[in-house]
Structure 1
Amino acid sequence: MANHNRRKFLQLTGVALGTGLVGTNIATGTPNENTRFLIDLREVSRTDVPSDIEIIHDISQIDLLAARGDASSVGDAAATTPDLTVYQDDAGPVVERSGPSVDEGDRNHNHDGPPKNSEYQWDKRIQNVGDLTDKPGGGTFIHDTTKGAGSRVAVVDTGVYDAHPDLADVVNDELSENFTTDQYDWRPNGAGDHGTHVAGTIAATNSNNGPDGGVLGTAPETEIVAHRVFSGVEEEGATTGDTVAALAAAADKGCDVANFSVGYINYDIEKHPELLEIKEVYRRLTEYVRAKGMVFVNSAGNDSVNMSKENMLSLPTEVKGIFGVSATGPIGCGWGGKHSDNEEKWLTGNRLEEPTTEPAFYTNYGNAVDVSAAGGNADLEALNGGVEGAERDLVYSTIYKTDASGNTVAGYGWKAGTSMAAPQVTGAVALIRSLRPTASVEEIEMLIRETASSAPGGETYHGAGHLDLKRLIKRARK
């Protein structure tokens, strides 16, 4: 196993971290009828918006419209801002790995029995969510107290594949909605399995009766509202307008928490002042959803940058009132020669090269982080070199795949990123609301911070600390 440290990984892989705006949807030159932009109703009256401007989203809850057309025809410069593209917070250097489909079994024999899907879930096992080894040993688990019943979670993402057996009856199909401009519903429809992986981390029910079982989420009795903001249509990227509309609607639908795994990174605000306008949009949004009782959880991003730097603006994580989550993960979970043939012992003793609370090599850090949570880590030399089992340091959850006949089939796979860390906290919020239905946003956030545990790297990487479900639920049930 290679010696692991953040700088060494970045040097080995030649990862190029961004030095400018990461992804915009800004039209250059003269605006035209295809330009997406936002209209600030505090700067221009709605009655003064020309009739040939297409209103894509009415977000008047925060005095905003998402529109398409000629932005120059709508008031003065202060009345509009470009509708910027947003991107998923996946760890770019870490390629995802697919596992089995739901009806496949891993027949590799380990001396404690063939591995179950849930045994790959180091993130749930280390938090004592449930008894997830193939040799149940009793004890007390988080789910002995609560499984999140009565709570509602918005997953603002690529959609959720609800045909997965571990997500059956989890998604509210009446409240779920498509916020893109394509013609499909709220399911992925080619937009990717990111949202399905996130939903599994939050609410998978471990209902697969295949040979290796399923996976378990933090709050398997919560209700998922899938708000799709990414499209499978090539020209349809997710925009600020789509995502803000989806988040405001989630609050209006009574969601206790929204999971949001997208963002923008900018190193030079002077060159891109439009990001300050976008920051104001998220400030209004955050104020609105918090007043409605919804916690807004966001991934911190995966550029391995210090968000405390003066010229750094990381959106939307840096907006006051958004709960920012950084990522941690182990090195050597079930591979590398240290009892890799015994899943029950993967996380015990000194078998890990790095602990599960180690800051992931890719995670952003700094003063916008509220807490850290399991997002997956990697020894990139081993992972990209095909070392057997190296993917097990990533987060394992629900996905879907396409078989040789072109059919969509449910499956399991590994991903890493702060996108995988945020839903750990989102699931925790669902557990708290199941125990304290009237708890305020401020009370929930305080509980998570105050019960977080210390971890390597301290406040810089973990904010108040690392998510600790045992301490959190003990405090919340009082």
Structure 2
Amino acid sequence: MSPRCFMLALTLFTAVPATAATRYIVRFADEASANAAIASVPKAEAAMRRKRSVDAGQPRHVATLAGGAQIFEVEDDNPAHFARLHGVTSVEEDRIVRPTALADPLYLRQWSLHDPRSGIDAEAAWKYTRGEGAVIAVLDTGATPHPELDGQLLPGYDFVSDAVRARDGDGRDPDPRDEGDWEEPGDCGRRAGSRSSWHGTHVMALAAAKRGNRLGITGVAPEARILPVRVLAHCGGYLSDVIDAIAWASGGEVPRVPTLTRRADVINLSLVTEGACGAAMADVIRQARERGVAVVVAAGNEGVGASGMAPGNCPGSINVGALDRGGRLAWYSNHGEAVTLAAPGGSLRGLRTDDLISAVDQGARVPWRSVFGYLAGTSMAAPLVSGVVALMRSADPSLHVDDITRHLVDNARPARCLKPCGTGLLDAGATLDAVIEERVVL
């Protein structure tokens, strides 16, 4: 169960009105022509003081540029007025330039993407692709309506077979909506009750939230699509449902469930159960890989050896540990030789801004209002890796699953882990560099 998250309400932004006048950069044949033109027209500053009482077609001088060009403004946006000025050689609009930074106001809080010490260097990967054409299957609590996921979701499926646990009145169905995993005191063998976590939505947005929509965050692969698959509900979910969901998301056949026309490129499993990898789970992961689908798994948050936790300990899975904001192995993260590599997961202590911010809902039981919240765990680290896999497949759709793992492992940066955390910190930029270089060579 994810820890309680700190909520941030969506902020609405309104555009700042543009000035009525349009500015132009005007060049003259010589300094004398420029000076004569300046002398023949009002000063913009003086016209402003007179509340623009001049003719709308009368150019007004604003300033002189370092190279000798002159800035004029015209009320009616018509550059033809400059034709009457002697010695004009060129006229161009003084256009508005904007920062090339992302138009996502919470991006600066997404340290996991850009922090030079502990981030994954996502911007270096985005010079190649932002995930167009790739599909990320997220097997979790389902999807909650959220602006960050508008247009990102493909038709998914609800694999929760227990109608009581599902809270939707039936078993498996084509509706992967998150019905809430809230608990009353005493439920699920726990003394305290809890709010709905909206865990699946948080994970999906970390992987592929929309970019540049002026709402909040951006995902690692913001142009990839998400296949929402519900496998977790009240008190978790059955391993058998997860097994069928992996088969389905990877393009396999599941009785009484329509087969996908487009399989996923990567399956994200931000879930864990104690014990060895069972034969059925090992078999379905093997089959998914044979179909060309990478399987990314959260290593777990028990602070123990990851070899004792499934399905991350299954052969072929990409098992992901969590690092804190200092680039160290997070205190809660499972560790050991079963971990493939690590990614930012948050500190889960002190300031929640050291955790990962993503999309959630403010409702305690049912969806109420789209907000953003901080969560921490290997559940948050895994979708960062899944997002990078989507970038890799977008850059090279034919990339083999073995090569996906190889590139992730070979290009990870050293991490400050006192206990084994795989080959180090996920590095999106270096990984995409390697994929592109190898694709060109071959």
Return the TM-score normalized by structure 1.
0.61
Q: Report the AA paired with residue 200 of structure 1.
A: A
Letter in 1 for 2:5: R
Closer, same or farther in 2 for the Cα pair 1:413/1:305, shift >3 Å? Answer: same
* Structure 1 Cα separation of the partners of residues 415 and 337 of structure 2: 16
Is the aligned partner of 1:219 residue 2:212? no
Q: Is 2:294–2:401's contact at 8 Å kept on the other side of the alignment?
A: yes
* Equivalent pair of 2:306/2:334 in contact (CA under 8 Å): yes
Q: CA deviation at 1:171?
A: 0.3
- Matched residue, 2:136: 153
2:247 match: secondary structure? helix
> 1:70 corresponds to which residue?
none
Q: Residues 106-126 of structure 1: CA distance to partner in whole angstroms, max 9, x if unpaired?
A: xxxxxxxxx932221110122
In 2, Cα distance between the equivalents of 1:376 and 1:428? 18
Is 1:471 the counterpart of 2:430? The answer is yes
Alpha carbons of structure 1 residues 464 and 403: separation in structure 2 relative to 1, 3 Å: closer
Paired residues of 1:328 and 1:373 also in contact (CA < 8 A): yes
* CA shift for structure 1 position 448: 0.5
Contact 2:221 2:388 in 1 (8 A): yes
Q: Give a deviation string over 1:42-84, Cα, whole Å, max 9, x none.
A: xxxxxxxxxxxxxxxxxxxxxxxxxxxxxxxxxxxxxxxxxxx
Is the CA contact 1:403–1:409 (under 8 Å) kept in the aligned structure 2? no
2:7 counterpart (70, 75, 99): 99
1:327 touches 1:418 (CA, 8 Å); kept in 2? yes
1:128 partner letter: D
Determine the structure 2 residue equivalent to 1:321: 316
What secondary structure is seen at the aligned counterpart in 2 of 1:324?
A: strand
CA deviation profile, 1:96-153 (whole Å, cap 9, x unmatched): 3222222369xxxxxxxxx9322211101223334xxxxxxxxxx4322210111111
For 1:328, the aligned partner's letter is L
| Residues 302 and 403 of structure 1, relative CA distance in 2, 3 Å threshold | closer
Give, as a single letter, the amino acid of the residue that structure 1 aligns with 2:431: L
- Indicate which of 174, 178, 198 corresponds to 2:158: 178
CA RMSD of aligned residues (A): 2.1
1 CA distance for matches of 2:110 and 2:243? 32
The DSSP-based 3-state class of the residue aligned with 2:381 is helix
Query: Residue type matched to 2:267 in 1?
Result: A
Residue 270 of structure 2 is matched in structure 1 by 261
Letter in 2 for 1:99: M
Q: Matches of residues 158-169 of structure 1 in structure 2 within 5 Å?
A: 158-161=141-144, 163-169=145-151
- CA gap of 1:285–1:103, structure 2 versus 1, over 3 A, is same
Inter-partner Cα distance in structure 2 for 1:306 and 1:230: 24
Greater C-alpha radius of gyration: 2
> For 1:177 and 1:454, how far apart are their aligned partners in 2?
38
Question: Does 2:353 match 1:392?
Answer: yes
1:438 aligns with 2:398: yes
Cα deviation code 1:410-441 (max 9, x no counterpart): 11000000000000100010000001100110
**What secondary structure is seen at the aligned counterpart in 1 of 2:415?**
coil
Question: Which segments of 5 or more consecutive residues in structure 1 lack a partner in the other structure?
Answer: 1-87, 106-114, 131-140, 267-275, 331-354, 384-389
**Does structure 1 conserve the Cα–Cα contact (< 8 Å) formed by 2:305 and 2:335?**
yes
User: 1:190 corresponds to which residue?
Assistant: 180
The one of 414, 417, 421 equivalent to 1:462 is 421
Mapped partners of 1:436, 1:454: distance in 2: 26
Aligned partner of 1:291 in structure 2 is: 290
Q: 1: distance between equivalents of 2:135 and 2:377?
A: 24
Distance 2:420 2:203 in 1: 22
Alpha-carbon offset, residue 207 of structure 1? 4.8
Deviation at 1:283, TM superposition (A): 1.3
* Partners of 1:157 and 1:228 within 8 A in 2: yes
Count of aligned residue pairs for this structure pair: 308
Amino acid at match of 1:435: A
Report Cα offsets for 1:287-317 as digits up to 9, x if no partner. Answer: 1101010001000011111235xxxx22111
Partner amino acid, structure 2, of 1:262: L
**Shift of residue 407, structure 1, vs aligned partner:** 6.0
Task: Give, as a single letter, the amino acid of the residue that structure 2 aligns with 1:97.
Answer: C
CA contact (8 A) 1:156 1:227 kept: yes
- Contact kept, 8 Å, 2:306 with 2:312, in 1: the verdict is no
Whether the 8 Å contact between 1:156 and 1:229 is mirrored in structure 2 is yes
Task: Check whether the contact 1:193–1:400 (CA below 8 A) recurs between aligned residues.
Answer: yes
Q: Report the CA distance between 1:186 and its aligned residue.
A: 0.3
* Residues in 2 aligned to 1:143 and 1:416: alpha-carbon distance in whole angstroms: 25
Q: Residue 224 of structure 1: CA displacement?
A: 0.5
Deviation of residue 320 (structure 1)?
Answer: 1.0
Q: Summarize the Cα distance change of 1:407–1:200 in structure 2 as closer, same or farther, 3 Å threshold.
A: closer
Provide the C-alpha distance between the structure 2 equivalents of 1:125 and 1:242, rounded to a whole number of angstroms. 36
2:114 match: 125
Judge conservation of contact 2:121–2:427 (CA < 8 Å) in 1: no
What's the CA shift for 1:474? Answer: 1.0
